[in-house]
Structure 1
Amino acid sequence: MKRNMRKWSALFVSIILVLSMIMGCSSKKEETSGGEETKTEGKDYEITVVCMALNSDYWHMVEAGAKLAGNELGVTVDVVGPNAESDSAAQINMVEDACNSGADAIVLAPNEPTSLVSAAKTVKNNDTPLVIIDAKLDTDDESLYDCFIGTGNIAAGGEGGNFIASKLEKGDKVGIIRGLNGQSVHDQRADGAQAAMEEAGLEVVSIQPADSDRGKAVNVAENMLQSDPDIKAFYATNDDMALGALQAVESAGLKDIVIVGFDGTFNAMDSIADGKLTGSVAQQPIEEGYQGVVNAVKILDGEEVEKEQALDVVVLTDENVADFRKNVEEQIEKSGVKLN
C-alpha cells in the first residue's frame, strides 16, 4: 500500500513539473512605455537595422531609438551602416548579409533610393519583412516593402525656408548646400526650402552638393561667397553641411549671416545654444528608429501596419533647443547607446 502511494506521489510530482514547464514556456504579453501589448515573450526575433551611415549623431540617434524598442520588446536588434552616406555598394552588401545571416526582419534607410531597389528585391525574394525609414525607395513597386516611416521632406524643407525668410528681407540672396545628387531626401529638402524662400521673395543664387560632408561644405560655401559676396543666408539639407557653411562664414570674418541646417543633431544643438548656427529643422530620428523596430515586430506577429507613417519636425532655435535636447538625452540614456 505504501509502495503504491509512493508511486502515485512520484507520478503526481512529475505531472506538476511538466505542467509548470509548459506554463513557463507559454507566451506572456509585454507592454511598451505606452501601455500597449506588443510581442509575446519567447519569440527571439532578430532584427537588422541598416542606416544610411553611422558617421553622425543623427544615425546614432536612429540607432538609439532602434535599441530602445529592442530593449522594450525583448528582441535582438543589430544596427549597421556604411562609413559614408555615399557608399550605396556597402549598404547593399549589408542588406544581403542580413538576409544571409537569417535576420527575421530588416529596417532600412536607403542611402541611394535607386540602387537600393535591388537590395529590397533580395529581401522580398528571401521572404523577409522590410520596413523602410527616412527615405523612400525610388520604385513604384510597393510590394517590395511593408511600410515607410519618415519625415515629409518637402514640407519640412518648406518650414526651414520659411524660417529663413522670417529672418531676411525680400530680395536677399540665399545659397543652398545639399546632399548627394540623386538622393531623393536631399532633393525634397532642397526643393521644399527653395520654393518657400522664393515665394517669400528671396533669391536663391546657387544650389550646390556637398555630399552631406562638413569638409566639402566648407569649400562649397567659400566658393559661393566668392562668387556672390551678398549672400545673406545658407540653407543646408543636413546639419554637418550647415556647420561647414558656418566654418566658412567665420573664416571669412562675416557676421549676421543666417545659417539653417536639417536634422537636429547634437553638434547643431550645441552651435544653436552658443548663438552660432541660427537653426535646424529637427527630425525625430529616435522615434524613426524606434517605430522601425516596433513595426517590424508587429509585422512578424502578423499584425497589420499602416503603409505610410509620417513623422513631424520642429524648427530648433535658441528659444527651444534646451528643452528639445533634454528630451533627446533622456531617451538616448535609456537606450544605452553611446554617441561619438
Structure 2
Amino acid sequence: MRRRTGVTAAAALLLVAALSGCDRGGDTDLGLALSTMNNPFFVGIKEGAQAEADARGLHLNITDAQNDPTQQINQLETFTSQNVRAAIINPVDSDAAVPAVGVANRADVPVISLDRGVNGGRVGSTIASDNVAGGRLAARTLAESLGGKGKVAFLEGQPGTSAARERGKGFEEGIGKYPGIQVVARQPADFDRTKGMDVMANMLQAHHDIAGVFAANDEMALGAAKALGGRSGKDVEVVAFDGTPDGVTAVRDGTLTATVAQQPRLLGRQAVDWALKAARGEKLPRTVKVPVVLVTQKNAAEFGTHG
C-alpha cells in the first residue's frame, strides 16, 4: 500500500509540474546564445530578451560567445542538457553556426536565429532588422548629403555574417543609383570600433580626398570618426548603422551625419516571443523583419532611449 501511495504521489507531482504555467517547462525555459556582449547593440538585445522573459515568468539562460563560434557549439550543448524548450542563437558566423544549430536539431530543440541568419540546419525563423532596406536607406542618405557626387569609403562588417552581407547588398544597390558617387575604398572592420579607426586611417592615406563614409555599424563609424578627427560630420559625411546610444549621441553632436537605427530591445523581445511559438509547435515564417529608422540631427533627441 505504501508503494502505491508513493507512486500516486509522484504521478501527482508530475501532473502539477506539467500544468504549472503555460510558459514554464523546467529550470531553464529558453537559451539565448549571443555572439558578443562587448557591443552596445547586443547588450540592448540582451536587455529586451530578459525583459520579455521576466514579463512571462520565464528563466532565460543568456551566454556570451565572445565572437568564438566554438563557444556557441558548447553553449547549445549546455542548453540541450538543460532541456530548454527552445534555443535562440545570434551567430558569430552564419556558416560556423551550422554545427551549433545541429546540436539543438539532434536534441529536437527548436531554434530561432536572431539578427543574423544561419546557412544550414533547421531554424524555425530568423528575427532580424531589414538590413537590405537599411543599407539602401544609408546609401541614399549619404549620396544626398554629398549632393550626388564625391568619393566615398565603405567600412564593411564582420565577414561571414548575414548582417554584413545584407547591409552591403543594400548599400551597393542604393549607391549604384548615383553615378556621381565613386566607392574608392572598401574593407571589413569586423563591426569593431578600434578596427574601424585603423581601417579608416589606412584608407585616408591612399584616398585623402574621401568625402563620405558608410560604416555598417555605429562602432566602426565611431572609430572612423576618430581617425577623421575634426573632418567627421563636416568635411566628410559619415553614415552609420545601428542606432546605439553612442551612435545617436554622435549624430546629435554632429560627429556623424546619420545612423540607420535598429531596435535591439524589440529584436530581443520578439526573439523570446517567437521562440515560445516554436516551442509550441506553431508554424513560423522563414524570416521576421523588424523595421529600421533613420536618425539625423533633426530627430536624434527622440532616440535617447530608442530600442
TM-score by length of 1: 0.80
- AA at the equivalent of 1:240: E
**Which of 238, 243, 246 pairs up with 2:217?**
238
CA distance in 1, matches of 2:173, 2:193: 25
**Which of 61, 82, 90 pairs up with 2:44?**
61
1:251-290 equivalent positions in 2, closer than 5 A: 255-290=234-269
- AA at the equivalent of 1:127: D
**Which of 99, 105, 114 pairs up with 1:118?**
99
CA distance in 1, matches of 2:242, 2:24: 37
- AA at the equivalent of 2:103: T
Distance 1:41 1:311, change over 3 A: closer
CA distance in 2, matches of 1:220, 1:25: 55
Contact conserved, 2:233 with 2:255, CA < 8 A, in 1? no
Contact conserved, 1:157 with 1:191, CA < 8 A, in 2? yes
Cα distance, 1:100 vs. partner? 2.6
CA distance in 2, matches of 1:208, 1:262: 16
1:122-133 equivalent positions in 2, closer than 5 A: 122-133=103-114
Pairs aligned (count): 293
**Which of 107, 124, 141 pairs up with 1:146?**
124
Cα distance, 1:251 vs. partner? 6.7
Distance 1:76 1:255, change over 3 A: same
- AA at the equivalent of 2:117: K
CA distance in 1, matches of 2:33, 2:151: 38
1:50 is matched with 33
1:207 is matched with 186
**Which of 266, 270, 275 pairs up with 1:291?**
270
Report which stretch shifted further, 95-104 or 261-270: 95-104
CA distance in 2, matches of 1:254, 1:133: 32
1:34 is matched with none
- AA at the equivalent of 2:126: F
1:164 is matched with 142
Distance 1:231 1:322, change over 3 A: same
1:321 is matched with 300
- AA at the equivalent of 2:225: L
1:188 is matched with 166
Give the secondary structure class of the aligned counterpart of 1:211: coil
Structure 2 unaligned blocks of 5 or more:
1-12
2:7 is matched with none
1:40 is matched with 22
CA distance in 2, matches of 1:43, 1:206: 51
CA distance in 2, matches of 1:271, 1:169: 22
Contact conserved, 1:180 with 1:186, CA < 8 A, in 2? yes
- AA at the equivalent of 1:169: G
CA distance in 1, matches of 2:276, 2:213: 41
CA distance in 2, matches of 1:274, 1:78: 37
Contact conserved, 1:99 with 1:123, CA < 8 A, in 2? yes
Report which stretch shifted further, 52-61 or 89-98: 89-98
- AA at the equivalent of 1:40: C
Distance 1:93 1:270, change over 3 A: same
Larger radius of gyration: 1
1:81 and 2:64 matched: yes
Percentage identity across paired residues of the two chains: 29
Structure 1 unaligned blocks of 5 or more:
1-20, 29-38, 329-340
1:13 is matched with none
Cα distance, 1:26 vs. partner? 9.2
CA distance in 1, matches of 2:218, 2:306: 19
Distance 1:94 1:41, change over 3 A: closer
TM-score by length of 2: 0.88
Cα distance, 1:253 vs. partner? 8.5
Cα distance, 1:104 vs. partner? 2.3
**Which of 227, 234, 249 pairs up with 1:248?**
227
2:4 is matched with none
- AA at the equivalent of 2:43: H
Contact conserved, 2:154 with 2:183, CA < 8 A, in 1? yes
CA distance in 2, matches of 1:204, 1:73: 48
Give the secondary structure class of the aligned counterpart of 1:291: helix
CA distance in 2, matches of 1:101, 1:213: 33
Give the secondary structure class of the aligned counterpart of 1:318: coil
Cα distance, 1:42 vs. partner? 5.5
Cα distance, 1:213 vs. partner? 1.4
**Which of 151, 166, 174 pairs up with 2:152?**
174
Report which stretch shifted further, 39-48 or 293-302: 39-48
Contact conserved, 1:249 with 1:255, CA < 8 A, in 2? no
